[in-house]
Structure 1
Amino acid sequence: MRVLAAMSGGVDSAVAAARAVEAGHEVVGVHMALTRNRAATRSGARGCCSIEDAGDARWAAEILGIPFYVWDLSEEFEERVVADFLSEYRAGRTPNPCVRCNERVKFDVLLERGLALGFDAVVTGHYARLRGGAVAGRPGEANTLELHRAADAAKDQSYVLAVSGREGLSRALFPLGDAPSKAAVRAEAERRGLPVADKPDSYDICFVADGDTRGFLQRSLGAQEGNIVSPDGEVLGTHGGYFGFTVGQRKGLGLTRPAADGRPRYVIETRPRTNEVVVGPAELLRRTVVDGKDLVLLDSPDSLADGVGRQDVTVQVRAHGRPVPADVTVDAAAGTLHAVLRQPLRGLAAGQSVVVYGGDDGGRVLAQATVA
């Protein structure tokens, strides 16, 4: 099978490409250049598109003996990820740029170009497992494809992949899904002589060069002084823009006097229309109901309906968040999801991704939606 290996410059994608070569596939490596200003990108491997990453990816491809190319996807990344990130914060929501990048660039754009060039599938270093269905290189019906958690729960990325849906995932290969640990992947990279074996993991938002998300938002959207208020409307302080705060945030509020009862305050909500940030006690963050829109089904609506009240149905609202038992129903025609939580969640914000898990082991992805 002719496959396109997405090589970020990190150890995971390098080992994934190596495993694809070892499996007998005809592999071509490609590095996605996602930023328009390479000089502004952080160094030291903090982000996933740092200035040294293209060189590291090329070096790994040379060792593997595969062709290698750099594709400039900065325009697509700017339009589909960065612009969406700013638009969501402007609307008072909290987006997950990694979810959007996986959906709109690493799968949509890369796969679209790859298929146009005659490739059969895309190989990435994501930690997740695909079973059954029309998984690339394996027979089966597309409507039986299943996305499952990775063997290594600490590195599992099924949460960010769920938004890609069956169609996108049917042309994907995740060779690291069964890897027992990141340490094992690093050891394998060292055995293979790959130069990125000890490279640190990427973290933070890759297009926020200095890691200061609030500063990035204020520079991009403009400082807008407003009030920090209590739930009953008392003005407690000021801020430079509601978009610089997220629900559940405790630090960086800039308040000079404590609450009357001495308890810490948290961001309860942001109000774009009035440019207000509402803060209050932790109990106001508790949510027992989650509604989602833009539904992506990886299982049938009947299966989810049958799962109402079952203990093996859980929802997760952060990449490495705690799965919470829930009663879940979906409306496939309306593209909505409704979950009643058996345990309350704190700090749930509009714009986050909610993923539903079930199955015999609780690790199968059933659906994904955006918190409304």
Structure 2
Amino acid sequence: MQNGKKALIAMSGGVDSSVAACLMKQQGYTCMGVTMKLYDNEEIGVSSEKTCCTLKDVEDARFVAQALDMPYYVLNFKDKFEEEVIQRFVDTYIEGGTPNPCIDCNHRIKFRALMRRMEELGYDYVVTGHYARISYDETSGKYILKKALDSTKDQSYVLYNLTQEQLAHTLFPLGTYEKTEARKIAEANGLLNAHKHDSQDICFVPDGDYGKFIEGYCERTGKEEEGGKFSPFEPGDFVTEDGKVLGHHKGIIHYTIGQRKGLGLSLPQPLYVCRKDLDKNKVVLAPNDRLFQDTLEAGELNFISGEYPRGAFRCCAKIRYKQKEAPATVTPIDEKRVKVVFDEPQRGITPGQAVVFYDGDQVLGGGRILRSKEE
């Protein structure tokens, strides 16, 4: 039985979005499946056999839509994706940071560009296969973003940019399910991708070699190589904190804070990337204990309630997707920046990544890490 509501289902061809579509149909929504065409493999130099956004994925999504008796379309967001995700990814590395393109894709493509398309088509909701929950608080009149019940699959970290308006028109059907349950639902409904492997890598850098991708992208597009006094593509020195040269690096874009493997050095003790000096073209290496800091500054902020904090507040915060949140104090610096001080030092605070604030299972908001205490 139809409930009178219309849902636009973002379908990647994977099991999660397919089960989301199945659940929405079972709940009586009028559904349309869409796959977002985000890039051409040849244009960005990625093998079509390695990336998750293949013709096979489109075929899987189309098959599921047909099995669920719902219309299905492929929507072209290539230009928007390159501008809002790939270019920001490249720019952040060139500037010495480490980006999180999944956050940009959710923020700028799925819940901005796709939601505009939803409105144009006269639909009520955008539905995705994210593991997160949305509730509505009658007292405050606000929507609340919460962690998924399955803590091993919770994706609330990458959704902290959602606004009240977006939450009002978004549904996460999998938020109350465990991954094993989702696969059982897919199996019970005869979906061909019930046991399809999850995608692990960034979709447009499936082999994990970010430096190689950035070099190739800049060469193809003629993008100017900027960062500091030196080109971030130019080889330079690995050094200790007191300036001792340990060897030579192949370009600052190839390294990120906390990295130990892939340095190409034979060292008497494990050393990690603790800082990148773009002005001197040096990558500073140090022992693991030097990676722990307790203070960071963040910008590009979003608070789920839509209200900027008037003063300091206590919460739990985390600086990486897979990291457990830790107690911290967040203090506004001005209308665009906050200072976050953790009760205990955190390992590998990295500019370009996100810091996300929690109150129990509720997401308060978050922002982009601009710098750590020692920078």
Q: Settle same-fold status: TM greater than 0.5.
A: yes
- Distance in 2 (CA, whole Å) between partners of 1:206 and 1:142 is 38
Task: Find the counterpart in structure 2 of residue 197 from structure 1.
Answer: 194
CA apart distance, 1:300: 6.8
Corresponding position: 1:296 with 2:306: no
Task: Find the counterpart in structure 1 of residue 174 from structure 2.
Answer: 176
Equivalent residue for 1:16, pick from 6, 20, 23: 20
- 1:200-215 pair list within 5 angstroms: 200-215=197-212
Equivalent residue for 1:287, pick from 265, 272, 293: 293
1:304–1:326 CA distance, 2 compared to 1 (3 A): farther
- Distance in 2 (CA, whole Å) between partners of 1:234 and 1:51 is 50
Task: Find the counterpart in structure 2 of residue 240 from structure 1.
Answer: 250
Corresponding position: 1:339 with 2:340: yes
CA apart distance, 1:278: 0.8
Task: Find the counterpart in structure 1 of residue 326 from structure 2.
Answer: 324
> 2:41·2:47 contact (CA, 8 Å) conserved in 1?
no
Task: Find the counterpart in structure 1 of residue 226 from structure 2.
Answer: none
- Deviates most, 100-109 or 266-275: 266-275
Deviations 1:24-70 (A, max 9, x none): 111000011111236965567x6542331100000000000000001
Task: Find the counterpart in structure 1 of residue 136 from structure 2.
Answer: 132
- Distance in 1 (CA, whole Å) between partners of 2:195 and 2:212 is 31
Task: Find the counterpart in structure 1 of residue 31 from structure 2.
Answer: 27
> 2:331·2:339 contact (CA, 8 Å) conserved in 1?
yes
> 2:161·2:304 contact (CA, 8 Å) conserved in 1?
no
Task: Find the counterpart in structure 2 of residue 137 from structure 1.
Answer: none
1:80–1:286 CA distance, 2 compared to 1 (3 A): same
- Distance in 2 (CA, whole Å) between partners of 1:192 and 1:59 is 13
Equivalent residue for 1:276, pick from 272, 279, 282: 282
Over aligned residue pairs, what C-alpha RMSD do you find? 2.1
- 1:10-159 pair list within 5 angstroms: 10-37=14-41, 47-132=51-136, 144-159=142-157
Letter in 2 for 1:271: D
Aligned residues with identical type, % of pairs: 40
1:47–1:329 CA distance, 2 compared to 1 (3 A): farther
Look up the SS of the partner of 2:160 in the other structure.
helix
- Distance in 1 (CA, whole Å) between partners of 2:164 and 2:276 is 34
- Deviates most, 155-164 or 299-308: 299-308
> 1:36·1:75 contact (CA, 8 Å) conserved in 2?
no
1:275–1:168 CA distance, 2 compared to 1 (3 A): farther
Equivalent residue for 2:185, pick from 183, 188, 208: 188
Look up the SS of the partner of 1:216 in the other structure.
helix
- Distance in 2 (CA, whole Å) between partners of 1:284 and 1:367 is 28
> 1:142·1:170 contact (CA, 8 Å) conserved in 2?
no
- Distance in 1 (CA, whole Å) between partners of 2:127 and 2:140 is 18
> 2:85·2:104 contact (CA, 8 Å) conserved in 1?
yes
- Distance in 2 (CA, whole Å) between partners of 1:50 and 1:318 is 28
CA apart distance, 1:142: 8.8
Give 5+ residue unaligned stretches, structure 1: 134-139
1:300–1:177 CA distance, 2 compared to 1 (3 A): same
CA apart distance, 1:342: 1.1
- Distance in 2 (CA, whole Å) between partners of 1:38 and 1:52 is 16
Look up the SS of the partner of 1:273 in the other structure.
coil
- Distance in 2 (CA, whole Å) between partners of 1:368 and 1:115 is 27
Letter in 2 for 1:348: I
> 2:318·2:326 contact (CA, 8 Å) conserved in 1?
yes
CA apart distance, 1:107: 1.2
Look up the SS of the partner of 1:132 in the other structure.
strand
- Distance in 2 (CA, whole Å) between partners of 1:252 and 1:157 is 28
* TM-score computed with the length of structure 1 as normaliser: 0.89
Look up the SS of the partner of 1:98 in the other structure.
helix
- Distance in 1 (CA, whole Å) between partners of 2:32 and 2:196 is 22
CA apart distance, 1:345: 0.7
- Distance in 1 (CA, whole Å) between partners of 2:39 and 2:306 is 38
* TM-score computed with the length of structure 2 as normaliser: 0.88
Equivalent residue for 1:165, pick from 163, 166, 171: 163
Deviations 1:172-191 (A, max 9, x none): 10000000x21110011000
CA apart distance, 1:225: 1.2
> 1:218·1:244 contact (CA, 8 Å) conserved in 2?
no
- Distance in 2 (CA, whole Å) between partners of 1:93 and 1:196 is 36
- 1:219-258 pair list within 5 angstroms: 219-221=216-218, 223-256=233-266, 258=267
Deviations 1:60-104 (A, max 9, x none): 000000000011111111111010000000000111010011111
- Distance in 1 (CA, whole Å) between partners of 2:142 and 2:307 is 14
> 1:48·1:203 contact (CA, 8 Å) conserved in 2?
no
Look up the SS of the partner of 1:314 in the other structure.
strand
- Distance in 2 (CA, whole Å) between partners of 1:31 and 1:141 is 37
Give 5+ residue unaligned stretches, structure 2: 220-232, 371-375
1:149–1:218 CA distance, 2 compared to 1 (3 A): same
- Distance in 2 (CA, whole Å) between partners of 1:161 and 1:274 is 36
Task: Find the counterpart in structure 2 of residue 136 from structure 1.
Answer: none
Q: How many residues align?
A: 352
- Distance in 2 (CA, whole Å) between partners of 1:211 and 1:263 is 26
CA apart distance, 1:218: 3.0
- Distance in 1 (CA, whole Å) between partners of 2:316 and 2:54 is 36
